[in-house]
């Protein structure tokens, strides 16, 4: 065998070795790709399954929340209907309210006026900020120069009367720890409240209500009147 024949056989052998190597490498790469694809596919399936379960859970939660809300609304409506029924049938509900209503009707207060005031009470209020004014208090020994306080452009007048700390004329100031007699003059009439401070009063006028609060003052012989108006 000559030199050229030996070289040719050697090259064929090398080619065969390289061919086998690259073929095996190709098989390994293909196997890795197939394994990666199968793993990725399994991961996608798991993600889709998790998303599906998550949506089912969210829908279940929403459904339960809707049922809870519906149940609460039905319960609220049932309670309201029961209260109305008890009031109409007089089953130990609102005894004091019905008593006051009966007294008002017996005194000649019109049914329309009572209904109007009740509707005002249950309406939503849109109120202004409170304002404050100082007012003097009259006693049995002392009548101040301005014994009346006027608010809201003269629509409401107030007068306060108290008991002196003592009976001497040199100490005519009222005792803030004793009951105060408050007179509220409006619409041609007068309401009187006698009690210890603080004193609260509501005055209704059509679609408006005036809230009054009478409290102690740091000025001797005076009170503070806080008031605001609300649109109903």
In which domain, by residue range, is 52 found? 1-93
Whether residues 140 and 83 share a domain: the answer is: no
> Which position has the higher pLDDT, 113 or 93?
113
Burial of 158 (0-12, 13-18, 19+ CB in 10 A): buried
Upstream peptide bond of 198 is cis (omega within 30 degrees of 0): yes
Q: How confident is the model at residue 162 (pLDDT cuts 50, 70, 90)?
A: very high
**Could you say which of 74, 93, 112 is where a domain stops?**
93
CA distance 116 to 106: 18
Q: Say whether pLDDT at 196 is over 70.
A: yes
| Average pLDDT score over the chain | 78
**Neighbour count for residue 202 (Cβ, 10 Å):** 11
Least confident of 13-17, 18-22, 65-69, 110-114: 13-17
Asked if residues 217 and 194 have their Cβ atoms less than 8 Å apart, the reply is no
pLDDT at 94: 64
For the chain, how many structural domains are there in total? 2
Note whether residue 110 is domain-resident.
no
Whether residues 89 and 128 share a domain: the answer is: no
Q: Say whether pLDDT at 3 is over 60.
A: no
**Residue 186: its H or E element:** strand 180-186
For residue 227, give both structure tokens.
């008031």
- What's the CA angle centered on 135, arms 132 and 137, to 5 degrees? 145
> Which position has the higher pLDDT, 75 or 9?
75
* Strand bridging mode 156-161 / 148-151: antiparallel
pLDDT at 141: 82
Whether residues 147 and 88 share a domain: the answer is: no
Q: How confident is the model at residue 173 (pLDDT cuts 50, 70, 90)?
A: confident
């Amino acid at each position: 065998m000559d030199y050229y024949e030996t070289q040719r056989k050697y090259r064929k052998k090398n080619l065969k070795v390289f061919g086998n190597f690259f073929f095996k490498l190709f098989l390994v790469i293909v196997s890795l790709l197939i394994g990666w694809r199968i793993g990725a596919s399994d991961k996608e399936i798991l993600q889709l399954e998790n998303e599906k379960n998550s949506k089912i859970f969210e829908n279940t939660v929403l459904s339960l929340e809707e049922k809870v809300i519906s149940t609460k609304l039905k319960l609220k409506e049932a309670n309201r209907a029961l209260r109305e029924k008890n009031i109409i049938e007089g089953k130990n509900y609102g005894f004091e309210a019905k008593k006051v209503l009966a007294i008002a009707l017996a005194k000649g207060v019109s049914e329309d006026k009572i209904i109007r005031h009740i509707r005002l009470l249950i309406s939503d209020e849109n109120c202004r900020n409170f304002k404050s004014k100082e007012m003097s208090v009259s006693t049995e020994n002392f009548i101040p120069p301005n014994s009346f306080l006027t608010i809201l452009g003269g629509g409401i007048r107030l007068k306060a009367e108290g008991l002196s700390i003592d009976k001497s004329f040199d100490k005519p100031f009222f005792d803030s720890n004793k009951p105060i007699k408050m007179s509220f003059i409006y619409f041609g009439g007068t309401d009187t409240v006698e009690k210890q401070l603080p004193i609260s009063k509501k005055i209704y006028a059509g679609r408006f209500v005036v809230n009054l609060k009478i409290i102690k003052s740091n000025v001797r012989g005076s009170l503070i009147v806080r008031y605001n108006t609300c649109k109903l």
